[in-house]
Amino acid sequence: MRADIEDGTPLAGWLRPGLTCWRRERAHRAAVLHDGAAYFAAARAALVKAQKTITLIGWSFDPRVRLLPSAGDPESDQTLADLLRALKAARPELTVRILIWDMPWPISAGNDHTPDSVRASLGTGIDFRIDSTLPYGACQHQKILVIDDRIAFCGGSDFEVNRWDTPAHRDRDPRRRLPSGEDYPPRHDVMMLVDGPAANALADLARERWRRATGEALSPTLDTPVDPWPETVTPLLTEVEIGLSRTEPAMAGREAVSENAALYLATIRAAKEVIYLENQYLASPVVADALRARLAEPDGPEIVIVLSERSPNGFDQLTMNSARRGLIKGLRRADRHGRLRIVAPHTPKGQPILIHSKVALIDHRFLRIGSTNLNNRSFGYDTECDLSIELRADDAAGRAALDRVLHALLGHHGGCPSDTFAQAYAERGTLRAVIDDPALMPSPRLCTLVPSHRGPIARLVEAFHLGDPAGSEDAWRPWRRRKVLRRARVAVPVDVAGTGAAVEA
């Protein structure tokens, strides 16, 4: 399916280089990979085709990851380290580079591997580096895999031992198992795969990250004879323009980059029909302010937000969940016209599913997938990278493709086949009408998220957004956070919606 492009002219008003994105580049093919099983299988199929370079940029990395876990299949026992060593042995000219955040204690305390043990597992032929270039407390959160500069993956998933799952999110799946033999809970994530100039742009970003971390300047990979695109992956769209948006904290000699924040606010402010968000967190007061403003409008868009019922660890439960309690209450107070739904997905037997994806779908013509959480640090303190597709309003084929993504995501969250969801949506006209129908979304699959009671500690955490700095200025200085966040609400007088509307930065 082709998304028409007029050479040299922007598709629409939201993707503006220098404001809401870094670059706009064409992809000959773009695909959406729904959940870890799809990503890991596609990554493996692409890795085995690599001819010259494999570059992986991540938040975390475990060489014991099994890309194709399957009972009774010999390949299922092959780890990612096994695969990379085999590829290097078969093609000595192949360069494999892996750059992972230098994770501080206590975040690293739960790991049962160290950088030295990872290097030992990978062997001497694979270049594994740790990135410690950010201020203490800021994290390298971009997740990018580039193969021969011809294709690139970007989204929410790392190669970790608890990332694999299928869209079925079964209550128990013997393939969803840690190296220790313990089961881990169901998990939802989304990645995007692109080729062409869009993949080249992600390769440029990865090379710059490598240069900053190691001091080594890498050259682009020249064209290779083998197309590494996985044969089993069908493109969602072809010949489509991709926007690449980043977050970077301010550092000595470099200003902060806040393209991801600007793009979220531009699309929320300009949406006319529907705002669909699924994200690991909802802790950004700037985003909440923008959503409240839309809910106050009598004819604004409907807003559907998919979140986890609870965060998986104690730190996030204290920090991110404390902040989201107040934000959700504020959004519900603002929802005077009944257009808001905030829901959490569960397995058929009611087990919470961890939402780790970072997805936005706006007005059936805008799709965004990346690493950016809806919290302060993803907007200004960590590094992030998102990919976006923006279609013209008259691109019926492209809109239908994005609708398929929406139907598949919400349908699987609620235990409703995507074609059934699509038909019900077409008949009823709103997402909330489908979500509210227990015959289509049987209990307990998609439940309204009810914030728990806030005690005094949670209120203190919420008031100062402890653990969630907005940038270098307020990091480790929570008393400055309110001032920084107030400034983040100030409008930048730039029209990105085609209507003269300003964008909050």
Distance separating alpha carbons of residues 419 and 195, to the nearest angstrom: 29
Residue 455 has a pLDDT of 79
Whether residue 108 has pLDDT greater than 80: no
Say if residue 499's pLDDT is above 70: no
- What pLDDT sits at residue 5? 41
Q: What is the pLDDT of residue 351?
A: 96
Q: Residue 450: is its pLDDT beyond 60?
A: yes
Q: What is the rounded average pLDDT of the residues 423-439?
A: 96
> Is residue 152 a contact partner of residue 39, using CB atoms and an 8 Å limit?
no
d(C-alpha 377, C-alpha 380), whole Å: 5
Q: How far is residue 238's CA from residue 250's CA, in Å, rounded to a whole number?
A: 36
Examine the pLDDT at 109 and tell me if it is beyond 90: no
Structure tokens at 403: 């609708």
- Percent of the chain exceeding pLDDT 70 equals 92
pLDDT at 106: 64
Residue at token pair 């934000």: 327
Minimum mean pLDDT range among 96-100, 312-316, 337-341: 312-316
Indicate if the pLDDT at residue 501 is higher than 60. Answer: no
* pLDDT of 224 higher than 70: yes
Q: Which helix (H) or strand (E) holds 360?
A: strand 359-362
Residue type at position 331: L
Domain residue spans of the chain: 27-239, 241-454
**Cβ(173)–Cβ(166) under 8 Å?**
yes
pLDDT one-digit tens code per residue, 354-394: 999 999 999 999 999 999 999 999 999 999 999 999 999 89
Check residue 176 and give its pLDDT: 95
**C-alpha count within 13 angstroms, C-beta hemisphere, residue 348:** 9
3 state SS of 453: coil
Rounded to two decimals, the pTM is 0.94
Q: Out of 68-82, 249-263, 306-320, 372-386, which region has the weakest mean confidence (pLDDT)?
A: 68-82
Between 320 and 188, whose confidence is greater?
Answer: 188
| pLDDT tens profile 462-483 | 888 888 888 888 888 888 887 8
Report the amino acid identity of residue 118: V
Which architecture, in CATH terms, is 27-239? 2-Layer Sandwich (3.30)
Report pLDDT for 174.
93
Q: For position 4, what pLDDT does the model report? A: 44
What value does the mean pLDDT take over residues 167-190?
Answer: 95
If 0-12 CB within 10 Å is exposed, 13-18 middle and 19+ buried, where does residue 500 land? exposed
> CA 407 from chain center: how many Å?
18
pLDDT over 70 at 1, yes or no: no
Q: Does residue 273 register a pLDDT over 90?
A: yes
Return the CATH number of 241-454, one of 3.10.20.30, 3.40.50.2300, 2.130.10.10, 3.30.870.10.
Answer: 3.30.870.10
Mean pLDDT of 171-181: 93
Q: Given a cut of 50, is residue 502 above it in pLDDT?
A: no
Section 439-460 average pLDDT: 86
The upper half-sphere exposure of residue 29, i.e. CA atoms within 13 Å in the direction of its Cβ, equals: 17
Q: Which residue has the higher pLDDT, 356 or 75?
A: 356
Strand partners, 26: 241
Domains 27-239 and 241-454 share a fold: yes
Arithmetic mean of pLDDT over the chain: 90
Q: Does the structure show a pLDDT above 90 at 451?
A: no
> In the predicted model, what is the mean pLDDT of residues 349-354?
96
Q: Cβ distance 354 to 186 under 8 Å?
A: yes
- Give residue-wise pLDDT tens across range 4-32: 444 434 444 899 999 999 999 999 999 99
Segment 196-213 mean pLDDT? 98
Residue that wins the pLDDT comparison between 267 and 76: 267
The pLDDT tens digits for 120-163 are 999 999 999 999 999 988 999 999 999 999 999 999 999 999 99
> Does residue 103 contact residue 131 with C-beta atoms inside 8 Å?
no
Over residues 292-314, mean pLDDT: 93
For every residue of 389-402, which 3-state class applies, written as one string? EECCCCCHHHHHHH
| Closest by Cα among 247, 42, 243 to 145 | 42
Alpha-carbon gap, residue 437 to 429, rounded angstroms = 13
Please say if the pLDDT value at position 503 is more than 90. no
Categorize the per-residue pLDDT at 236 as very low, low, confident or very high, splitting at 50, 70 and 90. Answer: very high
CA–CA distances in Å: residue 85 to residues 63, 119, 120, 160? 11, 11, 11, 18
